[in-house]
Amino acid sequence: MSTNIPNPKILILGGFGHVGMATAQYLLSLTDVTLTLASRHPERLPIPLTPSASVTSLKLDIKNTEALQTACRQHDLVISCVGPSGLIGNTVAQTCKEVETPLIDAGGYDPLLSRLEADETSQPTQVPLIINVGLLPGLSGIYPQHLIKSLPGDHTVTGIDIHYVGRDTWSYNSAWDIISSLGDFGKDHGFCYLENNQLKRQSFFKASKKVSFPAPIGTASTMLIYSEEIMRLARQNNIDNVNVYGANIGPRAAMICAIAKVFGLYRTEKGIARGARWLVKASQKDMQKLQPAYGIRVDLHEQNGHTSSGELLLSDTYQATGTVIGITAKAVISGRHSGPGVFMLHEAINQSDFMAELAQSGVIAYPATTDHQSSTQRASA
């Protein structure tokens, strides 16, 4: 795709959902794009998106291959906000690859990434296909990458600890993917970490760690998780030691996730669906008294004994996800992206430019910060 397309045409699949609508509002406020919001059941556009020359709606079922191909071929960029990702599979991505229309996928996750990359040798992709452009994965990779690249050139990172925490009123599609992620989308690495470039399992009783965030999050108990995104980031930056922790910090939602993990609901589609329904109800009850929030804490352990740390806190998840997608879309339509090929977010666009635009967007509740101190200083703090 050529750069700086005048009035680019963008198709948003799932355009009437929380994320699709947030993406549309971001793009319409900051770009000259023409949007098509697609859904199986198009709804009346809200007042900020009243039908005009720049936004229209389209009734589309992505299971209708011919209709999907036609729609994708007629646009300069496709943004996929449909789900659950585990049920959508490679339908949208494969279509975009065939008709050679760039794709930004809000989900997709590890299985889609693996499928696409497996085909690259025999059938190279001719456009950028950017997978996992959300908060986790997505921002969860590009923010640590930004911190790494911000270090002085003579600083060498040997280890990285990352904590992700979040809560909101989860939609069924989001809940489905959360439950599926508890089993690493079919691979079930268990509680694990990377030590000397070797993946090692940890027992349940040793896998938890408390982390403190600014209000409204506070102190949260997190558990070791497997993250393909951070494993890729570690390899790309020659980092041999990695600990990634995550937590759903709504108390009822956290309990459902624990039950789903212990009883292995993530092993079957039926179990995932049951867990997702429970998680939706639990998160609704949680959010009657709590505020939406998403936080990332990153500790970079350097060869010289220093630890560089950064924190990022967002005020919600759906608007923030739409903003992350919108920033990525702006980079793609202006040609500021890697490609062609298959990428995760931190591999696709410049992390410094991305973080600068995120800072200007207004979704950051607590500014991204970085401090430098030795490990002995941190231990005594």
Cα separation, 225 vs 246, in Å, equals 6
Specify whether the CB–CB gap between 102 and 96 falls below 8 A.
Answer: yes
Which pLDDT belongs to residue 371? 56
Higher pLDDT, 376 or 168: 168
The H-or-E segment that residue 96 falls in is helix 91-99
Cα separation, 360 vs 330, in Å, equals 14
Q: What is the pLDDT of residues 230-241, one digit of tens each?
A: 999 999 999 999
Is residue 85 a part of any domain in this protein? yes
Query: What secondary structure does DSSP assign to 105-122, as a single string?
Result: ES--HHHHHHHHHHTTTT
Residues 336, 305 share a domain: no
Residues 299, 152 share a domain: yes
Average pLDDT over residues 100-119: 95
The H-or-E segment that residue 166 falls in is strand 157-167
Domain of 46 in residue numbering reads as 9-133+319-349
Residues 158, 294 share a domain: yes
Residues 337, 288 share a domain: no
Residues 326, 238 share a domain: no
Which pLDDT belongs to residue 273? 97
Is residue 3 a part of any domain in this protein? no
Is residue 100 a part of any domain in this protein? yes
Residues 168, 127 share a domain: no
Is residue 2 a part of any domain in this protein? no
Number of domains in the chain: 2
Average pLDDT over residues 103-110: 94
CATH classification of the domain holding 197: 3.30.360.10
Which pLDDT belongs to residue 41? 82
Question: Is 294 a residue whose pLDDT tops 80?
Answer: yes
Task: Place 200 in a pLDDT band, splitting at 50, 70 and 90.
Answer: very high
Residues 283, 156 share a domain: yes
Lowest mean pLDDT among 50-59, 102-111, 165-174: 50-59
Average pLDDT over residues 199-211: 95
Which pLDDT belongs to residue 1? 40
Nearest to 201 by CA among 234, 185, 225, 222: 225
Is residue 162 a part of any domain in this protein? yes
Strands 241-248 and 157-167: parallel
Residues 306, 167 share a domain: yes
Residues 146, 33 share a domain: no
Residues 251, 204 share a domain: yes
Q: Write b or e for each residue in 55-66: b if 16 or more Cβ atoms lie within 10 A of its Cβ, otherwise e.
A: bebbebebeeee
Residues 370, 333 share a domain: no
CATH classification of the domain holding 19: 3.40.50.720
Residues 223, 75 share a domain: no
Tokens representing 256 are 């459902």
Tokens representing 104 are 């930004």
Is residue 109 a part of any domain in this protein? yes
Specify whether the CB–CB gap between 259 and 288 falls below 8 A.
Answer: no
Cα separation, 178 vs 248, in Å, equals 9
Specify whether the CB–CB gap between 45 and 39 falls below 8 A.
Answer: no
Question: Is 337 a residue whose pLDDT tops 50?
Answer: yes
